[in-house]
Amino acid sequence: MGWRPADKIAVALHNFKANGVHQLTVHIGDLLYVQEELDSGEWCRGYIFYEPSKRGIFPASYISIKESTSRNIGSERIVVPAGDELLVEATQGLREWRWKLRELYVVRLLRDY
């Protein structure tokens, strides 16, 4: 059993808490870049779209693959969600703000107690 290239965009449908060093914790709504899929189809390897430093494997049953297009920019291959560009940009903005608001909320809770 091995890994095959995937080059896909996906959205997390369920929370998944990593319980190993090679696993990636994902939260509902996270936009993920799936780099590879296990031949069995049970696991994917990739990273959170806006946090590429966080990489690992996660269950394929926890995500939904989205239509995407890929572009070559210089020596890099960029994969972006397909669809109406305004809708894609608005969605990306909301996802970025979700993390910022979550951090502010957690920091406030810790400061108050």
3-state secondary structure of 91: helix
* Angle, alpha carbons 45-25-99 (nearest 5°): 115
pTM of the model: 0.67
Question: Which domains are delineated in the chain?
Answer: 3-66 (2.30.30.40)
Span of 12-16, 18-22, 88-92 with lowest mean pLDDT? 88-92
Q: Which helix (H) or strand (E) holds 6?
A: strand 3-12
Q: Is the pLDDT of residue 109 over 90?
A: no
Q: Is the pLDDT of residue 22 over 80?
A: yes
Q: Is the pLDDT of residue 46 over 80?
A: yes
Please give the backbone phi and psi of residue 84, each rounded to the nearest 5 degrees, phi first: -60, 125
Please give the backbone phi and psi of residue 7, each rounded to the nearest 5 degrees, phi first: 55, 55
